[in-house]
Amino acid sequence: MTLLGGILSVKAVTFLMFSIFTIAALGYMLGRVTIKGVNLGTAGVFIVALLYGCIFYNTLSAELTVSDASYVSNALKIVENMGLILFVTSVGFIAGPGFFGNFRKNFKSYVALGLIIILSGGLSCVACIFIGRNFTDLSVPEFTAMMVGLLAGSLTSTPAFSAAKGTVAPELESIVSVGYGIAYLFGVIGVVLFVQLIPKMAKANMDEERKLLSAANKEEKKKKPENLIEMDDFGLMPFSLAVMIGLILGSFKFGNFSLTTTGGCLLTSLVLGHFGHIGRISIMPSDRTLKVFREFGLMLFLMGAGISGGAQFIRYFDPIYFLYGAVMTVVPMIIGFLFAKYVLKISLLNNLGSITGGMTSTPALGTLIHVAKTEDVAAAYAATYPIALISVVLVSQFVIILFS
């Protein structure tokens, strides 16, 4: 049997498949556990992958030959990258139809708020770097990689995580994964709790807030032309086209900066998703395809990244990183909320919807819909989410370039 041009034993293939499907099964079981309405969802896969890498991966891979272990490691990298491509391209297509319209119409509110949240997170990261580098045994590049991993985890941003891994030196990628894993759990739970606690602390009248939300979200939806020519039943052709163009765009470098696979695929799918068709030819995958690819891609990416990060977790773990992660989660939320309330004068539910988008927190959006008892809050999330995604990718890269 061959893999990547070499000989790979059946034992290595079995080990790889066993690892992938065991983590997927256990991860979704963990993600389904709900405590007072809060659960991890797909993030459960990352937690299990991190634990698997930390406890079992090094031990089990030691049973393989050096050649087989190397191939398994490379195969996991392919799993991670394939998941990344599926996830970010799906997100771009989903956000594309409303992105540019919301950008023009709501720049002073949703887009500005997204930028404020991400910049606050980036500045919090920089502050932690300046303070923490005097109290660590890590080298400057290692500590910066850890901090940017913490930033991506605090904002639960898979694209920022992947962009950071693509920007640092190869030997530092596992450190980014460790930082992401440390902060991700708090990043998920912190935003979920925030959107539940704020309405209670403000003693908000939810009936009135829903009316304000409904009045603010009345807008015309762009009609999709009828009788478009579909290249295939699931829209795999336009999806593949977006990936192809995105990979090409992501390969270009301008000095030390590049869009990377994440930015290239995200930008391309946003544009294709916005237009939806070229003449009579549809360039928009079906909704069911995008939902499946988004979930499946996220699962694969978190799995590959979690295993590699877990293998180095014990080596780089330090409890102080939890504190850094908490700062990078809480500070952007508070600044964003106060800016939206007192400067932009946004209603409470639009404010919280924008916070979930700015923090790129899909689990928190689900919680907010339950709290608000209306799906209208998703409009603010959708308007803020794309600009936050793009901004956090850029911010994470700039921090690495400037402080490594």
List, for residues 295-319, the tens digit of each pLDDT value: 898 888 888 877 877 776 676 677 8
Q: pTM for this one?
A: 0.71
CA distance 353 to 245: 32
d(CA 372, CA 389): 24
Percent of the chain's residues with pLDDT above 90: 17
Which ranges constitute the DSSP H helices of 53-65? 58-61
Which CA distances in Å does 184 have to 103, 166, 372, 377? Answer: 28, 19, 25, 23
| Sequence ranges of the domains in the chain | 2-222+290-403, 236-286
pLDDT digits (tens, 9 = 90+) for 202-229: 888 888 888 877 767 554 445 667 788 8
Average pLDDT value for residue range 176-186: 81
For residues 96 and 270, is the Cβ–Cβ distance under 8 A?
Answer: yes
Helix, strand, or coil (residue 320):
helix
pLDDT bin (cut points 50, 70, 90) of residue 5 is: very low
Which residue, among 320, 290, 329, has the nearest Cα to 87 in the 3D structure?
290
CB 392: neighbour CB atoms within 10 A? 28
48-90 confidence digits (pLDDT tens): 888 888 777 666 666 666 666 666 677 778 888 898 899 888 8
Report the chain's mean pLDDT, rounded to a whole number: 81
Cα 299–Cα 271–Cα 78 angle in degrees, nearest 5: 30
Question: Alpha-carbon distance 260 to 188, whole Å?
Answer: 25
What is the rounded distance in angstroms from the CA atom of residue 138 to the CA atom of residue 145?
10
Q: Which of 137-146, 176-185, 201-210, 334-343 has the highest mean pLDDT?
A: 334-343
Range of lowest pLDDT (57-71, 193-207, 386-400): 57-71
Distances (CA, A) of 341 to 37, 101, 329, 364: 27, 23, 19, 19
Determine the pLDDT at residue 24: 92
Residues 6+ apart with CB under 8 A from 376: 210, 213, 214, 217, 349
pLDDT of residue 121: 93
- Rounded to 5°, the CA angle 217-42-365 comes to 20
CA 271, chain centre distance (Å): 19
